[in-house]
Amino acid sequence: MILFFGTKSGKKEAKTLHHVACPHCHQTGTLTVVRQSNQAHVFWIPVFTINNTSYAECSHCKRVYYKEEFTPEMEQALISSK
Ligand SMILES: [Zn+2]
């Protein structure tokens, strides 16, 4: 029997940080945080979530920030918006 097992990207959530300035270009409200989960699947049926990746992108300067690079302001805006 052949078992089809693999991973694929799950749903994607985007959230705009309205009151946070981009550390690179200093524009406010241009950062969008994208959260995406990766799921393991068997026969194309998602069985469990492996990890969640999140990154922020600035729509002004196109700079991408990974979670490790988030400023305290960005972290705070994410926590308070939950
Ligand atoms: Zn920027």
Per the prediction, the chain carries an average pLDDT of 89
| Averaged pLDDT for residues 54-73 | 95
* Per-residue model confidence (pLDDT) at position 39: 87
- Cα of 73 vs centre of ligand 1, distance in Å, is 14
Ligand 1 center to residue 82 CA distance, Å? Answer: 23
What is the Å distance from ligand 1's center to 28 Cα? Answer: 8
Q: Which residues pair with 46 in a beta bridge?
A: 41
Q: Looking at residue 35, what DSSP letter applies?
A: E
pTM: 0.72
Order the strands of the 64-66 sheet from edge to edge.
Answer: 5-17, 31-42, 45-58, 64-66
